[in-house]
Structure 1
Amino acid sequence: MTGICGLCKEEKKLCHSHIIPEFFYKNIYDHYGRFYEISTDEDSRVNFEQKGAREYLFCEDCEQHLNTNETYVNQFFFGRTEIDMTIYDEYAVVENADYKKFKLLQLSILWRASITSHSFFRDVDLGEEVEKQLREMILEEEPGDPSFFGCNINMIKLPKGLDANFFTSPDIFEKDDKLAYRFVFSNMVWIFFDPESKIDESIEQTFIKPDGQIIINQMEFQQLPFLTEFVKELKEAGKLEEVAKFTKKEET
């Protein structure tokens, strides 16, 4: 497919681009390389998917441009990069992250979610002016300040008996003069705060800093009411039983 690349804005052959990088999906695939797509709608069916949300967005050159930062963050989270990390009861402190690569990856996820027409990301709309600003930053490899769409990362600690890997549609929420976009993937919650919001110091200190420090919170599943309510609705709609039947059938 030929079209205007979303990043360089040149007319080229477009790739079937992921909105959320593919490596974040790796933990939700079954042994057939598929994952379950589930809705709380009682009339919907449980569907199999083999790839995450994609759209024809970027040319091959720009895919490679984005991939530089994706590769680094993939290695950061999945064990191929030496990380100077101290783990405490409720959070972990990383001291040696690559600020430029990590921050640009964060901004690119938010930007891609805003420019895509995929319905999974329908609640993310930054507006043309901000989208243009982010596109230029990503293209020119300028990560900006830590507080510019600063991202608070939280690892989800699941209770015993809940074997799941959550990947939900991002949403927008406002609370106490804060406007934020919340993404859940690979059992992590990434919360991007609007630069105009009044951010508490306790939140701002978790953003990645130019010296490479990141504070990653660990949150109990019960501390996330939007997820506990989602699971409750799935149970009430009989979707969890439906998934269990699919899984049992595949294993026999």
Structure 2
Amino acid sequence: MKNSHIIPEFIYSSLYDEKHRFHEISDDVKKKNKMSQKGIREKLLCSECEQHLSKYERYASLVLNGGFSLSVRNEGRLVHLGNIDYQQFKLFALSVLWRAGVSNLSVFSQVKLGPHEEKLRVMVLNDNPGTEYQYPFILSPIIHENKVQEALIVAPTWTRLENHYAYRFVFGGIAWVFVVSGHKAPKFIIDASINREDELTMIPWELSNLRFITDMAQELAQQDKL
């Protein structure tokens, strides 16, 4: 087994200092904060599986870091993006969700996929992104003082969206909200998620309005970890 990243290494680039270290803040009262030189990893995948996922990571890295020319259309608060490959980008996102679900690390302990774990594994292994109705996700850039907060990674948490289980990740300056359900997700989620026309809709949010992040920050501050 390889030392595998759950959140891909390229996501951590904005966190590193001049010595290639980043500040890892623990929400465990028994653990101290520490400096790390690599993103969070564990013995998880074989070399072949790592190679299989790397093609999706490379594509997502280009999309998220401006390596592709995307079409952009603003409509009020909404940002509509085009020219994003449905298969590659969705499989990147689902691979992160699946890895978090099978991880033994405590930071990913809230991601419990149940029967969806095997379904996601097979989809990713077979390069099958599924239909637009299967495992849709919303992307919300996180804004503070008019800047996207790229240097922010938060432990994923679960929530409910109209009686569906959903998992919230924060990385790459974006809140990723995945709906994991055997039933059709609400229309507003499917409409915003990436579609087979290679389009998706982002909904930017001010950091101070994201309660699950601000509540966590307050708890860490009470532990003198911020």
Contact 2:144 2:206 in 1 (8 A): yes
Of 202, 218, 228 in structure 1, the residue corresponding to residue 204 of structure 2 is 218
Query: Deviation at 1:186?
Result: 2.5
Which residue of 1 is the match for residue 135 of structure 2? 149
Larger Rg: 1
Query: How many correspondences in the alignment?
Result: 226
Structure 2 SS opposite 1:205: helix
**Any unmatched runs of 5+ in structure 1?**
1-13, 241-252
TM-score normalised to structure 2 length: 0.91
Of 193, 206, 220 in structure 2, the residue corresponding to residue 207 of structure 1 is 193
Contact 2:71 2:82 in 1 (8 A): yes
Contact 1:36 1:47 in 2 (8 A): yes
Task: Note the aligned Cα RMSD (angstroms).
Answer: 2.2
* The 10-residue stretch of structure 1 (206-215 or 32-41) with the greater mean CA deviation from structure 2: 32-41
Contact 1:146 1:210 in 2 (8 A): yes
* The 10-residue stretch of structure 1 (55-64 or 154-163) with the greater mean CA deviation from structure 2: 154-163
Which residue of 1 is the match for residue 218 of structure 2? 232
Structure 1 SS opposite 2:79: strand
Percent of aligned positions with the same letter in both sequences? Answer: 34
Matches within 5 A, 1:112-127: 112-127=99-114
In 2, distance between residues paired with 1:33 and 1:103?
Answer: 30
Say if 2:17 is the partner of 1:30. yes
Structure 2 SS opposite 1:17: strand
Query: Deviation at 1:41?
Result: 5.3
Which residue of 2 is the match for residue 54 of structure 1? 41
In 2, distance between residues paired with 1:133 and 1:198?
Answer: 16
Q: Which amino acid is the alignment partner of residue 96 of structure 2?
A: I
Contact 1:19 1:109 in 2 (8 A): yes
* The 10-residue stretch of structure 1 (150-159 or 56-65) with the greater mean CA deviation from structure 2: 56-65
| 1:113-141 CA-partner distances (Å, limit 9, x unpaired) | 111111111111112x3222211111111
TM-score normalised to structure 1 length: 0.82
Contact 2:77 2:204 in 1 (8 A): yes
Matches within 5 A, 1:25-104: 25-40=12-27, 44-104=31-91
* The 10-residue stretch of structure 1 (72-81 or 34-43) with the greater mean CA deviation from structure 2: 34-43
